[in-house]
Amino acid sequence: MTDATAAAPLVSIIMGSDSDWPTMRPAADTLAELGIPTEVDVVSAHRTPDKMTRFAREAAGRGIRVVIAGAGGAAHLPGMVASMTTLPVIGVPVQLARLDGLDSLLSIVQMPAGIPVATMAINGAANAGLLAARIIGSTDPDVAERLAEHAVGLEQAVERKAQALRD
Ligand code: RP5
């Protein structure tokens, strides 16, 4: 698909189908808000297995620090990518029309020992973006600072809503 920013991407957001994009978009939006260069692409474990293998083998060498992989149904993409890279892989189970996303969640979360995938909630793409930012922020003080400001913003938003209830 596209590079979300002109700078070299640090986070790669991949998904099994372009139909996953509305679910995955909050990850891209969150990373953009935090100023983290991100790329987005469609990579399917089943329909484009060669592309998936190339992607996973080359991501670290291209300077990618974290992979966010979203998929629905028989959601093998995050686990397969994790098996072919040492980068941290964050899996987002995408909710499809059938089975309420439980199939996606279980496909991603039950990884065998040795190949970790950090599995988010069903449709939890915003948190995937934040977790990727925290990984980047663990060695980048500017990103850590922006994450701290983001947390303060959340706290203030809750307090504003609580105040509106009390008024
Ligand atoms: C999965 O199959 C994709 O991640 C998507 O969630 C699901 C359906 O894909 P489409 O048939 O909409 O392309 O691999």
**What CATH number has the domain bearing residue 64?**
3.40.50.1970
**pTM across the whole model:** 0.94
Q: Is residue 164 part of a domain?
A: no
- For residue 151, is it within any domain? no
Cβ of 71 less than 6 Å from ligand 1: yes
Q: Please tell me the total count of domains within the chain.
A: 1
The two three-digit tokens of residue 152, written as one number = 């303060």
Q: Which domain holds residue 43?
A: 2-140
ipTM of this predicted structure:
0.97
Does 160 map to a domain?
no
Answer yes or no: is 155 within a domain: no
Spatial neighbors of 104 by CB under 8 A, at least 6 apart, are: 71, 72, 73, 75, 93, 94, 95, 96, 122
72 lines ligand 1 (CB under 6 A): yes
- 113 C-alpha to center of ligand 1: Å? 26
pLDDT tens profile 22-78: 999 999 999 999 999 999 999 999 999 999 999 999 999 999 999 999 999 999 999
User: What are 110-139's pLDDT values in tens digits?
Assistant: 999 999 999 999 999 999 999 999 999 999
Residue 52 in contact with ligand 1 by CB distance below 6 A: no
